[in-house]
A and B are shown apart, each in its own frame.
Chain A
Amino acid sequence: MSTPSISNVFSGDLDIVNIGLSAFADNIVASGGQVTQLSWQPPAGADQAAGMSLAWLVNDEQVAAANEIAYGRYLEAQPVLTGVALARDAISALGGGERRILHSGPPIAWEEMCGPVQGAITGAILYEGWAADLAAAEKLAASGEVALEPCHHYGAVGPMAGIISPSMPLWVVKNASGENTAYCNFNEGLGKVLRFGANGPDVLARLNWIGTELFETLRVGLAELGEVDLKPLIAQALHMGDECHNRNAAATGLLFKRLVPALLASDIEPSALRRSVDFIAGNDHFFLNLSMAACKAMMDAARDVPHSSLVTVMARNGVNFGVQVSGTGDEWFQAPANPVEGLFFPGYGVDDAAADLGDSAITETAGLGGFAMAASPAIVQFVGGTPADATANSRRMQGITLGRNPAFTLPALNFGGTAAGIDIRAVADSGILPIINTGIAHRLAGVGQIGAGITTAPMSCFTDAVVALAATLPAGGS
């Protein structure tokens, strides 16, 4: 045995971290020592066994090497908007006439689904013409003859109910630095919309228009415009007050500025052009679905690196919150979603709210949204906060990420990068939960958005992931 490491302490300076009784730290200070007092709580949600698994993962060499690869791929990813496509043409599982509908969050059976998701699925069945009326659509959905699967299983994401059916148009976002492609549906605007479970005639009429005229307009316009690099556009929007999850006003404007000249240069029929331009101009969240596709493209680049503890997916299905981790591939770690703290539109309250819903937490997974809250003082009041709170939140997230993304800088943090690349170990160890900015859906189908606020990812998703990741490594650490 070589000289014990404590010998180096003897010949150097003692520097202590005190975990527990703060009186011990006071005494060390009183006797002239150097000490950091932890604000300690039982880690891993006070699950002792998970806490031990976590301990073996701390500073693990294999995990560190895997994270370097996964995080590097995330940082290098270049999401590029290459065009639009119908779902059945973009995603093979939605082609070939098979009846399949994708939804947000982790997998969930029809009978377990929340009202808005059920409403949206029946709406999509009507939209596809697989049933003649709502009752028939519900019966069909419940029969199991329509496959219901997560968007995330097919490289796709969708806000709120996150419904993608074969005839719907999708944004196509390629990672120019990798092989992967991400998809997201189009944003329908606010009010009674499919993603909140509305499925009336006006909703279906709008979907039909989006799937035909708007789709065609954007197809032609994007062909004229060429590929759009989304990373610099998002970076610019962060400097203009967006966090690209709950606020997309700037990014929508930036996209609009690029799009309109291209549309004008095309030979689209003027009234169709005007309808499309009005629709985009009237929806400050139009860019949200592109932000999500861009984030999905970045996070998918980091998927499937064995032993990596990087979170690649956070998503909610209206019942459960689900997390996927690079080192454990397609495995979902689920727990009931945490409640949302927020503000409600007049006439609504917490009893009306559905559980947290949607794939849009992919933005937080990629370092935007709640992680970039410091960029967006305009919306900090959703949680009764101040700009200083927003900055504190963004800074706090640095405690659970593998690093900061230099491509996404925040003026409020002296142009430091956003905290990005959530490490399950850091979440479980520090007790700091990822912050997610979110809209609040009415629990009944079709009422729509009734508020907005922030929520957090549930701890047990991360502790379960820690236990699963630890099982992929030799016992006793590496």
Chain B
Amino acid sequence: MTARVYKNLYKDSVSLMAVSAKVVEVDGIEAASIVMGTPTNLENLAEAGLGTEFAAGPNDLIVAVSGPEDACVAALEVADAMLSENAAESSAEVAETPPTSIAAALAKDENINLALISVPGDYAAAEALKALRLGMDVMIFSDNVTVADELRVKQYAYDHGRIVMGPDCGTAIINGIPLAFANVVRRGPIGVVGASGTGMQEVTTLIDQLGSGISQALGTGGHDLSEDIGGLSLLTGMRALAADDATKVIVLVSKPPSPKVAEKVLGEARTIAKPIVVIFLGADPAGFSGGNIHGAYSLADAAAMAVELASGGSAVAEPVAVNARDGRRLDELAKRLAPSQRDIRAIYAGGTFCYEAQLICAENGIVSSSNSPTKGNLKVADVRRSEGHTIIDMGDDEFTQGRPHPMIDPTLRNQRILAEGADPTTAVILVDVVLGYGSADDPVSGLVTSLGRVKADAKGQGRYPVIIAYVCGTDRDPQGRRKAIESLKSVGALVADSNAQAAAWAAHVVLSAQEARA
């Protein structure tokens, strides 16, 4: 039991409690009391067994502690330090805390008009509904939103003249600002609305490369044209582009919807007094073209037609084909293939690219296996092992459970390419590179390293696999398209101008080799 008295030192009781709290934390201290020497406090000290003989009055401060002697000494030092220290001057500024709700954000900035939502799917619909109810339009990047919630949110939006892009919407460009996974493209007269993220990236970047530009690009999410949802967001998106003076031509991008939804969407499209290029991937454009509706054969075809129409020309749909010069070059490469090298191995990051490549191979009579096969193709037995012609979407669920998408982290894809290269049946390795905001800062270096190793290892075994690559992006993207292409060419990759062209090249090589063998 030890004590110290500070004469004429007044501290308020709250400060003293703060000191007490620190003093009792000193190792070995059994009890501590730091009080002014009022009669009541002196009584309390006595009751607490902290001593009775204090030469202290009401204006004097008492520090009383009990415990082993060294602990008491330490405790008194702690108390002394705290009682004599000058409180740190606190800055008068109070830091602004970031808002924690959409309503709070809107209270700080009443001009907010779009909510970009990428929270876990369980919570995304509620956030979307709040944003809609606060007068915003919405883009939902999140996936795993139930169909019931998607419909509820989209119906509410539809009834109130607002758009919900998504759920599972990867791409939008609004007023030139790329949202989520999107490229830096020139602004221009062509508006795009679509249910396919990489499909829209393809169309917008190709339009840019053809010298035209994008007014707005609105994603709808992959389920929008299902029977359940009925294309609610696509309809709203089309109407918005129809009403937009800066949009002269509209491009509509989707996998083929059911006839019912297709009729609804096309019926609406026919009422719009602007040319509309429609790419329903894999559907024969002759089946729905006419009037202001211009059906396209491929994403690249859609981009070319839109640019033509925007400059006042007339658009003619052209099936995917390999031109004579490219054909000769590919034939030469096909001749160098070893007898065992028969298969296309396409390892995709972009889901729509995988889809389009399968369609183009199928048109050339090549049946392939895939983890998400298009009609007439086969479901691959083991997603981790290729067999025959194999066209894999590495961005599909089985590869992204608990892992980032290959557009963000290409590690898994680069490993897969090494495996394909080691397989003596591999004739063509086909890859895509997607640039733009959202994608990896450097999606090319690792890929080029893998491709270089594949080439070198195969060469050692007398094999010369053909490497075909496609870079979706623009030179204004943070990663730079030209730089990516140069890098791929440095390891001998053939770099195509579009995904459709890359797939057609791949088909040409294996068919050419097949013919030579026959």
Q: B179 in the interface, Cβ–Cβ < 8 Å?
A: yes
| Known contacts A4-B240, A347-B48; A39 and B119 CB within 8 A of each other | no
CB distance from B107 to the nearest CB of A (A): 8
The residue among B33, B97, B160 with the most chain A CB atoms within 10 A of its own CB is: B97
Q: B300 in the interface, Cβ–Cβ < 8 Å?
A: no
The binding surface of chain B is classed by DSSP as mixed
Partner of B14, one of A379, A426, A431, A476: A379
| Known contacts A19-B117, A52-B125; A37 and B98 CB within 8 A of each other | yes
Instruction: List chain A residues, Cβ under 8 A from B215.
Output: 10
B137 touches A6 (CB 8 A): yes
Q: A142 in the interface, Cβ–Cβ < 8 Å?
A: no
Instruction: List chain A residues, Cβ under 8 A from B246.
Output: 10
A3 touches B161 (CB 8 A): yes
CB distance from A319 to the nearest CB of B (A): 26
Partner of B95, one of A345, A378, A381, A392: A392
Partner of A39, one of B20, B44, B98: B98
Partner of B118, one of A21, A36, A379, A426: A21
Q: A48 in the interface, Cβ–Cβ < 8 Å?
A: yes
Q: B163 in the interface, Cβ–Cβ < 8 Å?
A: yes
A59 touches B14 (CB 8 A): no
Instruction: List chain A residues, Cβ under 8 A from B216.
Output: 10
How far is B126's CA from A56's CA once the two chains are assembled, in angstroms? Answer: 8
How far is B218's CA from A15's CA once the two chains are assembled, in angstroms? Answer: 16
Partner of A27, one of B92, B133, B438: B438
A38 touches B92 (CB 8 A): no
B177 touches A32 (CB 8 A): yes
Count A-B contacts at CB 8 Å.
Answer: 244
| Known contacts A24-B116, A58-B134; A38 and B101 CB within 8 A of each other | yes
CB distance from B516 to the nearest CB of A (A): 48
Partner of B163, one of A6, A18, A31: A6
Instruction: List chain B residues, Cβ under 8 A from A52.
Output: 125-126, 129
How far is B237's CA from A17's CA once the two chains are assembled, in angstroms? Answer: 20
* In the complex, residue of chain B having the shortest beta-carbon distance to the beta carbon of A29: B177
Q: B136 in the interface, Cβ–Cβ < 8 Å?
A: yes
B126 touches A51 (CB 8 A): yes
Q: Convert B440-462 into 0s and 1s, putting 1 for each residue whose CB lies closer than 8 angstroms to a CB of A.
A: 00000000000000000000000
How far is B191's CA from A4's CA once the two chains are assembled, in angstroms? Answer: 15
B320-342 contacts to A, CB under 8 A, are: none
* In the complex, residue of chain A having the shortest beta-carbon distance to the beta carbon of B131: A17
A14 touches B239 (CB 8 A): no
Instruction: List chain B residues, Cβ under 8 A from A431.
Output: 100-101
Instruction: List chain A residues, Cβ under 8 A from B106.
Output: 17
| Known contacts A41-B100, A52-B129, A346-B20; A4 and B239 CB within 8 A of each other | yes
Which bucket holds chain A's interface residue count? 35 or more
| Known contacts A20-B141, A39-B98; A15 and B114 CB within 8 A of each other | yes
* In the complex, residue of chain B having the shortest beta-carbon distance to the beta carbon of A428: B101
Partner of A20, one of B94, B118, B130: B118
A38-83 contacts to B, CB under 8 A, are: 38-43, 48, 51-52, 54-56, 58-60
Q: A149 in the interface, Cβ–Cβ < 8 Å?
A: no
Q: A155 in the interface, Cβ–Cβ < 8 Å?
A: no
B112 touches A8 (CB 8 A): no
Q: A5 in the interface, Cβ–Cβ < 8 Å?
A: yes
CB distance from A350 to the nearest CB of B (A): 11
Instruction: List chain A residues, Cβ under 8 A from B134.
Output: 58-59
B105 touches A59 (CB 8 A): no
Partner of B133, one of A18, A48, A432, A477: A477
Q: A343 in the interface, Cβ–Cβ < 8 Å?
A: yes
Q: A411 in the interface, Cβ–Cβ < 8 Å?
A: no
CB distance from B30 to the nearest CB of A (A): 10
Closest 3 CB pairs of A and B: A20-B118, A346-B33, A55-B129
Taking A6-B240, A11-B244, A39-B99 as known contacts, 15 extra A-B pairs with beta carbons closer than 8 A to each other, sorted by chain A number, are: A13-B111, A14-B113, A19-B116, A24-B180, A28-B179, A32-B176, A38-B99, A38-B101, A40-B119, A55-B126, A60-B133, A388-B90, A429-B103, A451-B17, A476-B156
Chain B positions near chain A (C-beta within 8 angstroms): 12, 14-15, 17-18, 20-21, 24, 31-35, 44, 48, 90-95, 97-106, 108-109, 111-120, 122-123, 125-127, 129-131, 133-137, 141-142, 156, 158, 160-163, 174-180, 184, 215-216, 218, 236-237, 239-240, 243-246, 437-438, 478
Q: What are 6 A-to-B residue pairs whose CB atoms are below 8 Å?
A: A14-B174, A55-B129, A56-B129, A58-B129, A58-B134, A379-B14
